[in-house]
Structure 1
Protein backbone atom coordinates (compact mmCIF):
# COMPACT_ATOMS: atom_id res chain seq x y z
CA UNK A 1 0.00 0.00 0.00
CA UNK A 2 1.38 3.43 -0.90
CA UNK A 3 1.68 5.94 1.91
CA UNK A 4 -0.78 8.29 0.23
CA UNK A 5 -3.34 5.49 0.29
CA UNK A 6 -2.51 4.82 3.93
CA UNK A 7 -3.28 8.34 5.12
CA UNK A 8 -6.15 8.69 7.55
CA UNK A 9 -9.20 10.12 5.81
CA UNK A 10 -9.58 13.33 7.84
CA UNK A 11 -5.89 14.09 8.37
CA UNK A 12 -4.27 14.94 5.05
CA UNK A 13 -1.54 17.45 4.36
CA UNK A 14 0.05 17.36 7.82
CA UNK A 15 3.70 16.96 8.81
CA UNK A 16 3.31 13.23 9.44
CA UNK A 17 2.17 12.64 5.86
CA UNK A 18 4.83 14.84 4.34
CA UNK A 19 7.98 14.75 6.52
CA UNK A 20 7.99 11.87 9.01
CA UNK A 21 10.03 8.74 8.13
CA UNK A 22 7.86 6.17 6.37
CA UNK A 23 8.35 3.49 9.04
CA UNK A 24 7.12 5.86 11.77
CA UNK A 25 3.98 7.14 10.08
CA UNK A 26 1.55 4.37 11.15
CA UNK A 27 2.63 4.81 14.78
CA UNK A 28 2.38 8.59 14.65
CA UNK A 29 -1.10 8.16 13.20
CA UNK A 30 -1.99 5.78 16.02
CA UNK A 31 -1.06 8.49 18.53
CA UNK A 32 -2.92 11.09 16.42
CA UNK A 33 0.12 13.29 15.91
CA UNK A 34 -1.21 13.80 12.39
CA UNK A 35 -4.27 15.31 14.11
CA UNK A 36 -2.98 16.91 17.33
CA UNK A 37 -6.17 18.84 18.07
CA UNK A 38 -7.26 16.24 20.63
CA UNK A 39 -3.98 16.63 22.52
CA UNK A 40 -4.47 20.38 22.62
CA UNK A 41 -8.01 19.95 23.93
CA UNK A 42 -6.78 17.53 26.60
CA UNK A 43 -4.11 20.07 27.53
CA UNK A 44 -6.39 23.08 27.96
CA UNK A 45 -7.92 22.15 31.35
CA UNK A 46 -4.42 21.29 32.63
CA UNK A 47 -3.15 24.73 31.70
CA UNK A 48 -6.29 26.48 32.98
CA UNK A 49 -5.91 24.83 36.37
CA UNK A 50 -2.17 25.41 36.51
CA UNK A 51 -2.62 29.13 35.81
CA UNK A 52 -5.59 29.55 38.14
CA UNK A 53 -3.93 27.68 41.01
CA UNK A 54 -0.73 29.71 40.55
CA UNK A 55 -2.80 32.88 40.71
CA UNK A 56 -4.50 31.74 43.91
CA UNK A 57 -1.12 30.89 45.41
CA UNK A 58 0.29 34.27 44.30
CA UNK A 59 3.32 32.29 43.11
CA UNK A 60 4.24 31.58 39.49
CA UNK A 61 7.74 30.14 40.06
CA UNK A 62 6.61 26.59 39.28
CA UNK A 63 4.15 27.59 36.54
CA UNK A 64 6.58 27.44 33.56
CA UNK A 65 7.70 23.93 34.54
CA UNK A 66 4.12 22.79 35.05
CA UNK A 67 3.16 24.18 31.63
CA UNK A 68 5.95 22.17 29.98
CA UNK A 69 5.24 18.97 31.90
CA UNK A 70 1.53 19.13 31.17
CA UNK A 71 2.28 19.71 27.48
CA UNK A 72 4.45 16.59 27.23
CA UNK A 73 2.10 14.53 29.39
CA UNK A 74 -1.01 15.52 27.45
CA UNK A 75 0.47 14.55 24.11
CA UNK A 76 1.87 11.27 25.46
CA UNK A 77 -1.30 10.21 27.27
CA UNK A 78 -3.62 11.29 24.51
CA UNK A 79 -1.52 9.20 22.15
CA UNK A 80 -1.74 6.24 24.52
CA UNK A 81 -5.49 6.72 24.89
CA UNK A 82 -6.02 6.87 21.14
CA UNK A 83 -3.90 3.77 20.63
CA UNK A 84 -6.02 1.94 23.21
CA UNK A 85 -9.17 3.26 21.53
CA UNK A 86 -7.99 1.97 18.14
CA UNK A 87 -7.16 -1.45 19.59
CA UNK A 88 -10.60 -1.83 21.16
CA UNK A 89 -12.47 -0.29 18.21
CA UNK A 90 -10.60 -1.97 15.35
CA UNK A 91 -13.62 -3.96 14.16
CA UNK A 92 -15.97 -0.96 14.38
CA UNK A 93 -13.44 1.33 12.69
CA UNK A 94 -13.35 -0.99 9.71
CA UNK A 95 -17.08 -0.34 9.16
CA UNK A 96 -16.96 3.47 9.24
CA UNK A 97 -15.85 5.42 6.18
CA UNK A 98 -13.83 8.03 8.12
CA UNK A 99 -12.03 5.52 10.36
CA UNK A 100 -11.40 2.48 8.17
CA UNK A 101 -8.09 4.03 7.05
CA UNK A 102 -6.74 4.03 10.63
CA UNK A 103 -3.53 1.98 11.00
CA UNK A 104 -4.97 -1.17 12.60
CA UNK A 105 -8.04 -1.78 10.38
CA UNK A 106 -5.94 -0.72 7.36
CA UNK A 107 -3.38 -3.42 8.21
CA UNK A 108 -0.44 -1.04 8.70
CA UNK A 109 0.11 -2.05 12.34
CA UNK A 110 -0.71 -5.31 14.15
CA UNK A 111 -2.53 -5.38 17.47
CA UNK A 112 0.65 -6.62 19.17
CA UNK A 113 2.70 -3.76 17.71
CA UNK A 114 0.03 -1.31 18.82
CA UNK A 115 0.10 -2.70 22.37
CA UNK A 116 3.89 -2.29 22.55
CA UNK A 117 3.57 1.28 21.29
CA UNK A 118 0.83 1.90 23.87
CA UNK A 119 3.19 0.82 26.66
CA UNK A 120 5.97 3.09 25.39
CA UNK A 121 3.65 6.12 25.39
CA UNK A 122 2.29 5.24 28.82
CA UNK A 123 5.83 5.07 30.20
CA UNK A 124 6.53 8.55 28.85
CA UNK A 125 3.39 9.76 30.59
CA UNK A 126 4.47 8.05 33.80
CA UNK A 127 7.90 9.70 33.62
CA UNK A 128 6.16 13.08 33.43
CA UNK A 129 3.75 12.23 36.24
CA UNK A 130 6.59 11.27 38.57
CA UNK A 131 7.86 14.85 38.43
CA UNK A 132 4.90 15.97 40.55
CA UNK A 133 4.07 15.48 44.23
CA UNK A 134 2.66 12.20 45.54
CA UNK A 135 -0.92 13.42 45.65
CA UNK A 136 -0.74 14.56 42.02
CA UNK A 137 0.79 11.20 41.04
CA UNK A 138 -2.09 9.34 42.69
CA UNK A 139 -4.61 11.69 41.08
CA UNK A 140 -3.12 11.09 37.65
CA UNK A 141 -3.11 7.32 38.05
CA UNK A 142 -6.79 7.39 39.05
CA UNK A 143 -7.69 8.80 35.63
CA UNK A 144 -6.58 5.58 33.93
CA UNK A 145 -9.81 3.85 34.97
CA UNK A 146 -11.88 6.33 32.98
CA UNK A 147 -9.52 6.17 30.01
CA UNK A 148 -9.73 2.37 29.98
CA UNK A 149 -13.54 2.17 29.94
CA UNK A 150 -14.26 5.07 27.57
CA UNK A 151 -13.98 3.14 24.25
CA UNK A 152 -16.74 0.76 25.38
CA UNK A 153 -19.25 3.46 26.35
CA UNK A 154 -20.45 4.15 22.82
CA UNK A 155 -21.78 0.60 22.75
CA UNK A 156 -23.94 0.91 25.86
CA UNK A 157 -24.99 4.55 26.40
CA UNK A 158 -26.21 7.52 24.39
CA UNK A 159 -23.87 9.66 26.51
CA UNK A 160 -20.32 8.43 25.79
CA UNK A 161 -19.30 12.08 25.57
CA UNK A 162 -19.85 12.36 29.33
CA UNK A 163 -17.19 9.72 29.95
CA UNK A 164 -14.91 11.47 27.46
CA UNK A 165 -15.52 14.68 29.40
CA UNK A 166 -14.52 12.99 32.64
CA UNK A 167 -11.25 11.88 31.02
CA UNK A 168 -10.43 14.98 28.96
CA UNK A 169 -11.16 17.35 31.85
CA UNK A 170 -9.00 15.50 34.37
CA UNK A 171 -6.28 18.08 33.93
CA UNK A 172 -8.48 20.57 35.78
CA UNK A 173 -7.87 18.41 38.85
CA UNK A 174 -4.23 17.76 38.04
CA UNK A 175 -3.32 21.46 37.94
CA UNK A 176 -4.56 22.01 41.48
CA UNK A 177 -3.10 18.72 42.73
CA UNK A 178 0.31 19.68 41.35
CA UNK A 179 0.24 23.15 42.91
CA UNK A 180 -1.35 22.50 46.30
CA UNK A 181 -1.12 18.73 46.85
CA UNK A 182 -4.87 18.60 47.45
CA UNK A 183 -8.21 19.18 45.73
CA UNK A 184 -10.61 21.86 46.96
CA UNK A 185 -14.09 22.81 45.76
CA UNK A 186 -12.73 25.22 43.15
CA UNK A 187 -10.92 22.37 41.38
CA UNK A 188 -14.11 20.31 41.11
CA UNK A 189 -16.14 23.28 39.87
CA UNK A 190 -13.57 23.96 37.13
CA UNK A 191 -13.59 20.23 36.35
CA UNK A 192 -17.38 20.22 35.99
CA UNK A 193 -17.28 23.26 33.70
CA UNK A 194 -14.69 21.61 31.52
CA UNK A 195 -16.79 18.43 31.30
CA UNK A 196 -19.74 20.42 29.95
CA UNK A 197 -17.42 22.03 27.38
CA UNK A 198 -16.07 18.65 26.27
CA UNK A 199 -19.54 17.15 25.87
CA UNK A 200 -20.47 20.12 23.69
CA UNK A 201 -17.49 20.10 21.36
CA UNK A 202 -17.40 16.32 21.01
CA UNK A 203 -21.07 16.34 20.08
CA UNK A 204 -20.12 18.61 17.18
CA UNK A 205 -17.30 16.22 16.27
CA UNK A 206 -19.56 13.15 16.44
CA UNK A 207 -21.92 14.59 13.82
CA UNK A 208 -19.31 13.65 11.21
CA UNK A 209 -20.07 9.97 11.83
CA UNK A 210 -23.75 10.14 12.73
CA UNK A 211 -24.98 8.29 9.64
CA UNK A 212 -22.38 5.52 9.85
CA UNK A 213 -22.91 5.24 13.60
CA UNK A 214 -26.63 4.72 13.05
CA UNK A 215 -25.94 1.90 10.58
CA UNK A 216 -23.66 -0.04 12.96
CA UNK A 217 -25.49 0.80 16.20
CA UNK A 218 -22.99 3.18 17.79
CA UNK A 219 -24.52 5.66 20.22
CA UNK A 220 -23.56 9.29 20.75
CA UNK A 221 -24.98 12.60 21.88
CA UNK A 222 -24.89 13.69 18.23
CA UNK A 223 -27.44 11.00 17.39
CA UNK A 224 -29.35 11.64 20.61
CA UNK A 225 -29.70 15.39 20.06
CA UNK A 226 -30.07 15.24 16.27
CA UNK A 227 -31.81 18.34 14.94
CA UNK A 228 -31.89 19.76 18.49
CA UNK A 229 -28.10 19.91 18.71
CA UNK A 230 -27.85 23.70 18.70
CA UNK A 231 -30.33 23.98 21.56
CA UNK A 232 -28.39 21.32 23.47
CA UNK A 233 -25.16 23.22 22.86
CA UNK A 234 -26.70 26.38 24.28
CA UNK A 235 -27.30 24.46 27.51
CA UNK A 236 -23.94 22.65 27.54
CA UNK A 237 -21.78 25.59 26.58
CA UNK A 238 -23.82 27.88 28.81
CA UNK A 239 -23.28 25.52 31.73
CA UNK A 240 -19.56 25.40 30.94
CA UNK A 241 -19.27 29.19 31.05
CA UNK A 242 -21.29 29.48 34.26
CA UNK A 243 -19.34 26.78 36.09
CA UNK A 244 -15.96 28.10 34.97
CA UNK A 245 -17.18 31.54 36.02
CA UNK A 246 -18.02 30.19 39.48
CA UNK A 247 -14.50 28.73 39.68
CA UNK A 248 -13.04 32.12 38.79
CA UNK A 249 -15.25 33.78 41.39
CA UNK A 250 -14.09 31.33 44.04
CA UNK A 251 -10.52 32.01 42.96
CA UNK A 252 -11.06 35.76 43.39
CA UNK A 253 -9.55 36.47 39.98
CA UNK A 254 -8.95 39.94 38.60
CA UNK A 255 -10.19 41.52 35.38
CA UNK A 256 -7.89 39.77 32.86
CA UNK A 257 -9.39 36.39 33.74
CA UNK A 258 -12.91 37.72 33.30
CA UNK A 259 -12.01 39.11 29.88
CA UNK A 260 -10.61 35.67 29.00
CA UNK A 261 -13.86 34.02 30.07
CA UNK A 262 -15.91 36.53 28.06
CA UNK A 263 -13.83 35.82 24.97
CA UNK A 264 -14.22 32.07 25.58
CA UNK A 265 -18.00 32.47 25.87
CA UNK A 266 -18.17 34.57 22.71
CA UNK A 267 -16.25 31.93 20.79
CA UNK A 268 -18.64 29.20 21.95
CA UNK A 269 -21.62 31.32 20.93
CA UNK A 270 -20.06 31.80 17.49
CA UNK A 271 -19.73 28.02 17.13
CA UNK A 272 -23.40 27.49 17.91
CA UNK A 273 -24.48 30.14 15.40
CA UNK A 274 -22.25 28.70 12.66
CA UNK A 275 -23.09 25.04 13.17
CA UNK A 276 -24.79 23.05 10.42
CA UNK A 277 -24.89 19.44 11.51
CA UNK A 278 -25.26 18.12 7.97
CA UNK A 279 -21.97 19.76 6.94
CA UNK A 280 -19.24 17.36 8.10
CA UNK A 281 -16.39 19.61 7.03
CA UNK A 282 -17.84 22.51 8.99
CA UNK A 283 -18.37 20.30 12.05
CA UNK A 284 -14.69 19.36 11.95
CA UNK A 285 -13.58 23.00 11.62
CA UNK A 286 -15.78 24.11 14.52
CA UNK A 287 -14.59 21.24 16.67
CA UNK A 288 -10.95 22.15 15.99
CA UNK A 289 -11.64 25.80 16.78
CA UNK A 290 -12.13 24.87 20.43
CA UNK A 291 -8.38 24.99 20.90
CA UNK A 292 -8.60 28.71 20.14
CA UNK A 293 -11.50 29.07 22.57
CA UNK A 294 -9.43 27.39 25.27
CA UNK A 295 -6.41 29.56 24.55
CA UNK A 296 -8.51 32.72 24.92
CA UNK A 297 -9.48 31.69 28.43
CA UNK A 298 -5.91 30.63 29.18
CA UNK A 299 -4.54 34.02 28.15
CA UNK A 300 -6.76 35.73 30.69
CA UNK A 301 -5.83 33.27 33.43
CA UNK A 302 -2.10 33.64 32.76
CA UNK A 303 -2.35 37.42 32.81
CA UNK A 304 -4.20 37.22 36.11
CA UNK A 305 -1.55 34.87 37.56
CA UNK A 306 1.29 37.18 36.58
CA UNK A 307 -0.55 40.24 37.88
CA UNK A 308 -1.33 38.65 41.26
CA UNK A 309 2.17 37.22 41.69
CA UNK A 310 3.53 40.71 41.23
CA UNK A 311 1.32 42.02 43.96
Structure 2
Protein backbone atom coordinates (compact mmCIF):
# COMPACT_ATOMS: atom_id res chain seq x y z
CA UNK A 1 0.00 0.00 0.00
CA UNK A 2 1.24 3.48 -0.84
CA UNK A 3 2.47 5.50 2.12
CA UNK A 4 1.21 9.01 2.80
CA UNK A 5 4.59 10.44 1.85
CA UNK A 6 4.27 8.96 -1.67
CA UNK A 7 0.80 10.35 -2.35
CA UNK A 8 1.00 13.50 -4.49
CA UNK A 9 -2.13 14.91 -2.86
CA UNK A 10 -1.12 14.27 0.78
CA UNK A 11 -0.29 17.08 3.18
CA UNK A 12 3.43 16.91 3.92
CA UNK A 13 3.24 17.27 7.72
CA UNK A 14 0.39 14.82 8.27
CA UNK A 15 1.33 11.64 10.18
CA UNK A 16 2.39 8.77 7.96
CA UNK A 17 -0.26 6.14 7.41
CA UNK A 18 -3.08 8.31 8.75
CA UNK A 19 -6.61 7.03 8.12
CA UNK A 20 -7.51 9.80 5.68
CA UNK A 21 -4.66 8.93 3.32
CA UNK A 22 -5.06 5.19 3.72
CA UNK A 23 -8.75 4.29 3.97
CA UNK A 24 -10.96 7.35 3.38
CA UNK A 25 -12.72 7.42 -0.01
CA UNK A 26 -10.60 9.44 -2.48
CA UNK A 27 -13.37 12.00 -3.10
CA UNK A 28 -13.54 12.82 0.62
CA UNK A 29 -9.84 13.29 1.29
CA UNK A 30 -9.48 16.98 0.34
CA UNK A 31 -12.39 17.90 2.62
CA UNK A 32 -11.13 15.79 5.52
CA UNK A 33 -7.65 17.28 5.09
CA UNK A 34 -9.17 20.75 5.11
CA UNK A 35 -10.66 19.82 8.50
CA UNK A 36 -7.30 18.36 9.66
CA UNK A 37 -8.92 14.97 10.18
CA UNK A 38 -5.61 13.48 9.05
CA UNK A 39 -4.00 14.80 12.26
CA UNK A 40 -6.33 14.39 15.24
CA UNK A 41 -4.16 16.15 17.83
CA UNK A 42 -6.06 19.41 17.34
CA UNK A 43 -9.36 17.68 18.06
CA UNK A 44 -7.88 16.24 21.23
CA UNK A 45 -6.59 19.64 22.37
CA UNK A 46 -10.04 21.16 21.79
CA UNK A 47 -11.84 18.25 23.47
CA UNK A 48 -9.74 17.78 26.59
CA UNK A 49 -10.67 21.09 28.27
CA UNK A 50 -14.32 20.11 27.73
CA UNK A 51 -13.72 16.89 29.63
CA UNK A 52 -11.93 18.89 32.33
CA UNK A 53 -15.06 21.03 32.62
CA UNK A 54 -17.28 17.96 33.10
CA UNK A 55 -14.93 16.65 35.76
CA UNK A 56 -14.92 19.97 37.63
CA UNK A 57 -18.71 20.13 37.45
CA UNK A 58 -19.06 16.61 38.85
CA UNK A 59 -16.62 17.52 41.63
CA UNK A 60 -18.81 20.52 42.49
CA UNK A 61 -22.20 18.79 42.79
CA UNK A 62 -21.87 15.13 41.84
CA UNK A 63 -22.26 13.14 38.62
CA UNK A 64 -25.42 12.93 36.54
CA UNK A 65 -26.43 10.56 33.76
CA UNK A 66 -26.60 13.53 31.39
CA UNK A 67 -22.83 13.92 31.80
CA UNK A 68 -22.34 10.89 29.54
CA UNK A 69 -24.15 12.73 26.75
CA UNK A 70 -22.19 15.93 27.45
CA UNK A 71 -18.95 13.96 27.06
CA UNK A 72 -20.10 12.37 23.80
CA UNK A 73 -21.55 15.62 22.45
CA UNK A 74 -18.28 17.40 23.22
CA UNK A 75 -16.37 14.66 21.40
CA UNK A 76 -18.47 14.99 18.25
CA UNK A 77 -18.58 18.75 18.59
CA UNK A 78 -14.82 19.02 19.00
CA UNK A 79 -14.30 17.05 15.80
CA UNK A 80 -16.65 19.13 13.66
CA UNK A 81 -15.88 22.52 15.21
CA UNK A 82 -12.16 21.94 15.09
CA UNK A 83 -12.73 21.09 11.42
CA UNK A 84 -14.73 24.28 10.95
CA UNK A 85 -12.05 26.32 12.70
CA UNK A 86 -9.30 24.81 10.56
CA UNK A 87 -11.34 25.45 7.43
CA UNK A 88 -11.79 29.09 8.44
CA UNK A 89 -8.09 29.34 9.28
CA UNK A 90 -7.13 27.97 5.86
CA UNK A 91 -9.52 30.33 4.09
CA UNK A 92 -7.95 33.34 5.78
CA UNK A 93 -4.37 32.02 5.51
CA UNK A 94 -4.46 30.59 1.99
CA UNK A 95 -1.96 33.10 0.60
CA UNK A 96 0.38 32.76 3.59
CA UNK A 97 0.16 28.96 3.45
CA UNK A 98 1.25 29.03 -0.19
CA UNK A 99 4.54 30.64 0.90
CA UNK A 100 5.40 28.20 3.72
CA UNK A 101 7.00 24.84 2.87
CA UNK A 102 5.05 22.94 5.55
CA UNK A 103 1.64 24.29 4.53
CA UNK A 104 1.68 24.83 0.77
CA UNK A 105 0.40 21.26 0.23
CA UNK A 106 -2.84 21.99 2.13
CA UNK A 107 -6.04 21.63 0.08
CA UNK A 108 -6.64 25.34 -0.62
CA UNK A 109 -3.15 26.51 -1.65
CA UNK A 110 -2.57 23.27 -3.58
CA UNK A 111 -5.85 23.67 -5.49
CA UNK A 112 -7.53 20.47 -4.26
CA UNK A 113 -10.44 22.55 -2.91
CA UNK A 114 -11.86 25.80 -4.31
CA UNK A 115 -12.50 28.84 -2.13
CA UNK A 116 -16.25 28.54 -2.72
CA UNK A 117 -16.14 24.87 -1.77
CA UNK A 118 -14.24 25.70 1.41
CA UNK A 119 -16.91 28.19 2.46
CA UNK A 120 -19.61 25.59 1.83
CA UNK A 121 -17.71 23.03 3.91
CA UNK A 122 -17.30 25.59 6.69
CA UNK A 123 -21.06 26.20 6.80
CA UNK A 124 -21.87 22.47 6.76
CA UNK A 125 -19.58 21.76 9.72
CA UNK A 126 -20.92 24.78 11.60
CA UNK A 127 -24.50 23.55 11.22
CA UNK A 128 -23.60 20.13 12.62
CA UNK A 129 -21.90 21.80 15.57
CA UNK A 130 -24.95 23.99 16.13
CA UNK A 131 -27.27 20.97 16.15
CA UNK A 132 -25.17 19.34 18.87
CA UNK A 133 -24.90 22.55 20.88
CA UNK A 134 -28.69 22.92 20.97
CA UNK A 135 -28.93 19.68 23.01
CA UNK A 136 -26.81 21.02 25.88
CA UNK A 137 -29.08 23.58 27.50
CA UNK A 138 -29.46 27.34 27.43
CA UNK A 139 -26.34 28.23 29.42
CA UNK A 140 -24.12 26.11 27.19
CA UNK A 141 -25.79 27.51 24.06
CA UNK A 142 -24.97 31.06 25.09
CA UNK A 143 -21.41 30.04 25.91
CA UNK A 144 -21.11 28.49 22.46
CA UNK A 145 -22.41 31.62 20.77
CA UNK A 146 -19.99 33.77 22.78
CA UNK A 147 -17.03 31.72 21.54
CA UNK A 148 -17.65 32.57 17.88
CA UNK A 149 -15.96 35.97 18.08
CA UNK A 150 -12.75 34.39 19.40
CA UNK A 151 -12.81 31.74 16.67
CA UNK A 152 -13.28 34.39 14.00
CA UNK A 153 -10.45 36.60 15.27
CA UNK A 154 -7.77 33.97 15.86
CA UNK A 155 -6.56 33.46 12.24
CA UNK A 156 -5.84 37.20 11.97
CA UNK A 157 -3.97 37.46 15.28
CA UNK A 158 -0.59 36.54 13.80
CA UNK A 159 -0.87 39.64 11.61
CA UNK A 160 -1.16 42.18 14.42
CA UNK A 161 0.36 40.66 17.59
CA UNK A 162 3.38 38.65 18.64
CA UNK A 163 1.02 36.67 20.90
CA UNK A 164 -1.40 34.82 18.56
CA UNK A 165 -1.06 31.85 20.91
CA UNK A 166 -3.08 33.78 23.50
CA UNK A 167 -5.96 34.12 21.06
CA UNK A 168 -5.72 30.41 20.27
CA UNK A 169 -5.82 29.65 23.99
CA UNK A 170 -8.84 31.88 24.54
CA UNK A 171 -10.79 30.03 21.85
CA UNK A 172 -9.46 26.48 22.18
CA UNK A 173 -10.09 26.18 25.92
CA UNK A 174 -13.54 27.78 26.00
CA UNK A 175 -14.99 24.29 26.22
CA UNK A 176 -14.02 23.95 29.88
CA UNK A 177 -16.64 26.60 30.68
CA UNK A 178 -19.15 25.41 28.07
CA UNK A 179 -19.13 21.81 29.32
CA UNK A 180 -19.37 22.96 32.94
CA UNK A 181 -22.37 25.11 31.97
CA UNK A 182 -23.99 22.14 30.21
CA UNK A 183 -23.85 20.19 33.47
CA UNK A 184 -24.58 22.94 36.00
CA UNK A 185 -26.64 25.45 34.03
CA UNK A 186 -24.21 28.17 35.07
CA UNK A 187 -20.49 29.03 35.03
CA UNK A 188 -18.77 29.11 38.43
CA UNK A 189 -15.29 30.30 39.35
CA UNK A 190 -13.64 26.88 38.95
CA UNK A 191 -14.03 26.56 35.16
CA UNK A 192 -13.06 30.21 34.63
CA UNK A 193 -9.85 29.69 36.57
CA UNK A 194 -9.23 26.41 34.73
CA UNK A 195 -9.71 28.29 31.44
CA UNK A 196 -6.92 30.69 32.45
CA UNK A 197 -4.62 27.80 33.35
CA UNK A 198 -5.40 26.10 30.06
CA UNK A 199 -4.51 29.27 28.17
CA UNK A 200 -1.03 29.12 29.73
CA UNK A 201 -0.85 25.48 28.60
CA UNK A 202 -1.83 26.46 25.06
CA UNK A 203 0.89 29.11 24.94
CA UNK A 204 3.29 26.38 26.07
CA UNK A 205 2.40 23.75 23.48
CA UNK A 206 1.65 26.05 20.56
CA UNK A 207 4.95 27.89 20.96
CA UNK A 208 6.68 24.52 20.68
CA UNK A 209 4.62 23.87 17.55
CA UNK A 210 5.36 27.32 16.08
CA UNK A 211 9.12 26.73 16.26
CA UNK A 212 8.70 24.50 13.19
CA UNK A 213 7.81 27.55 11.08
CA UNK A 214 9.94 30.23 12.75
CA UNK A 215 12.26 30.73 9.77
CA UNK A 216 9.46 30.84 7.19
CA UNK A 217 7.39 33.11 9.44
CA UNK A 218 10.31 35.55 9.68
CA UNK A 219 10.62 35.68 5.89
CA UNK A 220 6.94 36.48 5.31
CA UNK A 221 6.42 38.64 8.40
CA UNK A 222 4.11 36.37 10.42
CA UNK A 223 4.32 36.92 14.18
CA UNK A 224 4.41 34.21 16.86
CA UNK A 225 5.67 33.61 20.38
CA UNK A 226 8.28 31.26 18.90
CA UNK A 227 9.83 34.19 17.06
CA UNK A 228 9.32 36.53 20.02
CA UNK A 229 10.96 34.21 22.56
CA UNK A 230 13.71 32.93 20.23
CA UNK A 231 16.54 31.22 22.08
CA UNK A 232 14.90 32.07 25.41
CA UNK A 233 11.95 29.81 24.65
CA UNK A 234 12.90 26.94 27.00
CA UNK A 235 13.19 29.26 30.01
CA UNK A 236 10.06 31.26 29.19
CA UNK A 237 8.03 28.13 28.48
CA UNK A 238 9.08 26.74 31.84
CA UNK A 239 7.37 29.77 33.38
CA UNK A 240 4.17 29.14 31.42
CA UNK A 241 4.22 25.45 32.39
CA UNK A 242 4.58 26.35 36.06
CA UNK A 243 1.84 28.95 35.73
CA UNK A 244 -0.51 26.42 34.13
CA UNK A 245 0.09 23.93 36.94
CA UNK A 246 -0.42 26.46 39.73
CA UNK A 247 -3.58 27.92 38.23
CA UNK A 248 -5.02 24.45 37.59
CA UNK A 249 -4.28 23.53 41.20
CA UNK A 250 -6.38 26.50 42.27
CA UNK A 251 -9.17 25.60 39.85
CA UNK A 252 -9.38 22.03 41.11
CA UNK A 253 -9.41 23.22 44.73
CA UNK A 254 -12.48 25.42 44.24
CA UNK A 255 -15.15 22.67 43.97
CA UNK A 256 -14.16 21.47 47.45
CA UNK A 257 -14.38 17.68 46.88
CA UNK A 258 -11.72 14.99 46.43
CA UNK A 259 -8.93 17.54 46.24
CA UNK A 260 -6.07 15.05 46.61
CA UNK A 261 -7.26 13.01 43.63
CA UNK A 262 -7.56 16.14 41.49
CA UNK A 263 -4.16 17.41 42.57
CA UNK A 264 -2.61 14.06 41.69
CA UNK A 265 -3.90 14.64 38.17
CA UNK A 266 -2.44 18.14 38.09
CA UNK A 267 0.87 16.73 39.31
CA UNK A 268 0.89 14.14 36.52
CA UNK A 269 0.05 16.87 34.02
CA UNK A 270 2.91 19.00 35.34
CA UNK A 271 5.40 16.14 35.20
CA UNK A 272 4.51 15.60 31.55
CA UNK A 273 5.16 19.26 30.77
CA UNK A 274 8.49 18.98 32.56
CA UNK A 275 9.40 15.96 30.41
CA UNK A 276 8.58 17.99 27.31
CA UNK A 277 10.85 20.81 28.44
CA UNK A 278 13.73 18.39 28.93
CA UNK A 279 13.29 17.09 25.38
CA UNK A 280 12.57 20.47 23.76
CA UNK A 281 15.02 21.64 21.08
CA UNK A 282 13.74 24.79 19.32
CA UNK A 283 15.74 24.17 16.15
CA UNK A 284 14.59 20.55 15.71
CA UNK A 285 11.29 20.62 13.82
CA UNK A 286 10.59 16.89 14.11
CA UNK A 287 11.13 16.99 17.86
CA UNK A 288 8.89 20.05 18.21
CA UNK A 289 6.08 18.28 16.33
CA UNK A 290 6.44 15.12 18.42
CA UNK A 291 6.34 17.08 21.68
CA UNK A 292 3.37 19.14 20.52
CA UNK A 293 1.42 15.97 19.76
CA UNK A 294 2.32 14.51 23.16
CA UNK A 295 0.16 17.13 24.85
CA UNK A 296 -2.79 14.84 24.21
CA UNK A 297 -1.34 12.57 26.88
CA UNK A 298 -0.72 15.46 29.27
CA UNK A 299 -4.35 16.56 28.98
CA UNK A 300 -5.67 13.02 29.27
CA UNK A 301 -3.83 12.50 32.56
CA UNK A 302 -5.65 15.43 34.11
CA UNK A 303 -8.98 14.48 32.51
CA UNK A 304 -8.77 10.96 33.96
CA UNK A 305 -8.06 12.13 37.48
CA UNK A 306 -10.80 14.77 37.35
CA UNK A 307 -13.26 12.12 36.20
CA UNK A 308 -12.28 9.89 39.14
CA UNK A 309 -12.54 12.84 41.53
CA UNK A 310 -15.97 13.70 40.15
CA UNK A 311 -17.30 10.14 40.34
CA UNK A 312 -15.82 9.26 43.72
TM-score, structure 2 length as denominator? 0.96
Cα displacement (A) at 1:256: 2.1
Given the superposition, is the C-alpha separation of residues 289 and 253 from structure 1 closer, same or farther in structure 2, using an over 3 Å criterion?
farther
Show CA shifts across 1:188-229 (max 9, x none). Answer: 101100111011100000000000000000000000001111
Alignment correspondent of 1:295: 300
Show CA shifts across 1:30-76 (max 9, x none). Answer: 00000110010000100001111012111232221111000000111
Alignment correspondent of 2:269: 264
- Alignment counterpart, residue 130 of structure 1, candidates 128, 134, 147: 134
- Alignment counterpart, residue 158 of structure 1, candidates 156, 162, 176: 162
Measured in 1, the distance between the counterparts of 2:29 and 2:243 equals 39
Unaligned runs of 5+ in 1: none
Alignment correspondent of 1:115: 119
Alignment correspondent of 2:254: 250
- Equivalent residues in 2 for 1:1-311 (5 A)? 4-11=7-14, 12-254=16-258, 255-307=260-312
Show CA shifts across 1:88-135 (max 9, x none). Answer: 100000000000000000000000001000011001100110001111
Unaligned runs of 5+ in 2: none
Cα displacement (A) at 1:231: 0.9
Question: How many pairs does the alignment contain?
Answer: 306
Measured in 1, the distance between the counterparts of 2:286 and 2:179 equals 34
Q: Is the 8 A contact 1:60 1:305 kept in 2?
A: no
Q: Is the 8 A contact 1:260 1:300 kept in 2?
A: yes
Measured in 2, the distance between the counterparts of 1:58 and 1:19 equals 42
Aligned partner of residue 153 in structure 1, secondary structure: helix
Q: Is the 8 A contact 1:161 1:203 kept in 2?
A: yes
TM-score, structure 1 length as denominator? 0.97
